[in-house]
Amino acid sequence: MVGPALSAAGIAAIGAFMHVWDPNQPSIAPSCPFLTLTGFYCPGCGSTRTIHALAHGDLVTAMERNPLAVLAFGILFVGLVRWTRRLWRGEPLRSLAPPWVLWTMLVVIVVYWVSRNVPGWTWLSPL
């Protein structure tokens, strides 16, 4: 149970920090290196502001910043709950993610990456 507890503690610490620190204000935090070098949004652009919005319970703003990150955080939370439950019950690990899941995730990320850089599709750009 140490692994899930440490993971939950890390998530809580990041959430507490992001609740206090506002990445929307000018600071010393660096901007996205990919965006700076290329002028294009990467799949992670807006994730810091997404975490800040989620730490404040603002799901609408979080979805405006990076909807894929919100989905990924939800999936990671479900994974943490399942991991904790499995260890709590003493069940063995049955299997890892099948290859089709990993390939699907890769395709979704690449399609999202390209889509958010299509001119005129500002609904996917991190506002």
pLDDT digits (tens, 9 = 90+) for 69-100: 999 999 999 999 999 999 999 988 887 889 99
- Is 46 in contact with 69 (CB distance < 8 Å)? yes
Domain of 50, in residue numbers: 2-124
Q: Which residue, among 19, 43, 17, has the nearest Cα to 32 in the 3D structure?
A: 43
Question: 90 to each of 86, 87, 115, 123, how far by Cα in Å?
Answer: 6, 5, 43, 45
The reported pLDDT for the residue numbered 120 is: 86
If one counts the domains in the chain, the total is 1
Q: Which residue, among 43, 48, 58, has the nearest Cα to 17 in the 3D structure?
A: 48
Q: What is the reported pTM?
A: 0.86
The reported pLDDT for the residue numbered 127 is: 73
